[in-house]
Amino acid sequence: MRWGAHDSPEATVEDGFLRSKGLGANLVPPLSLVLDDLGIYYDPIRESRLERLIAQSLSLEPAALRRAEALRQKIIKSGVSKYNLGIKAALPSLPKGHRILVPGQVEDDASIKLGTSKWQTNSDLLVETRRANPDAILIYKPHPDVEAGLRDGGLSNEAAAVADIIATNADALGLLACVDSVWTMTSTLGFEALLRGVPVTCLGAPFYAGWGLTRDIAATPDRRTARPSLDQFTHATLIDYPRYYDPETGYPCPPEVAVDRLAMSKGNYSGLGLRLLAKAQGALSTYAHLWR
Stretch among 32-41, 87-96, 142-151, 203-212 having the lowest mean pLDDT: 142-151
pLDDT band at residue 130 using 50, 70 and 90 as cut-offs: very high
pLDDT in tens, 66-92: 999 999 999 999 988 765 555 556 788
271 vs 27: CA distance, rounded Å: 10
In this prediction, residue 280 carries a pLDDT of: 45
Is pLDDT at 169 greater than 70 in this prediction?
Answer: yes
Stretch among 159-163, 204-208, 285-289 having the lowest mean pLDDT: 285-289
Tell me the CA distances in angstroms from 154 to 36, 111, 162, 273, one per residue in order: 31, 17, 14, 29
237 vs 39: CA distance, rounded Å: 15
Tell me the CA distances in angstroms from 250 to 19, 147, 244, 245, 284, one per residue in order: 16, 32, 10, 7, 11
pLDDT in tens, 216-240: 999 999 999 999 999 999 999 999 9
pLDDT band at residue 156 using 50, 70 and 90 as cut-offs: confident
In this prediction, residue 9 carries a pLDDT of: 61
Can you state the percent helix, strand and coil of the chain, rounding each to 5?
A: 40, 15, 45
pLDDT in tens, 1-51: 444 444 456 889 998 998 765 444 434 567 899 999 999 999 999 999 999
Check: CB of residue 291 under 8 Å from CB of residue 37: yes
pLDDT band at residue 285 using 50, 70 and 90 as cut-offs: very low
- 188-195 and 62-78 helices, crossing angle to 10°: 110
Who wins on pLDDT, 281 or 165?
A: 165
Stretch among 89-103, 142-156, 184-198, 205-219 having the lowest mean pLDDT: 142-156
Q: What are the residue ranges spanned by the domains of the chain?
A: 12-81+238-268, 99-224
pLDDT band at residue 149 using 50, 70 and 90 as cut-offs: low
For the entire predicted model, the pTM comes to: 0.84
% residues pLDDT > 90 (the chain): 62
pLDDT band at residue 179 using 50, 70 and 90 as cut-offs: very high
Give the single-character DSSP code of 13: E
Is pLDDT at 256 greater than 50 in this prediction?
Answer: yes
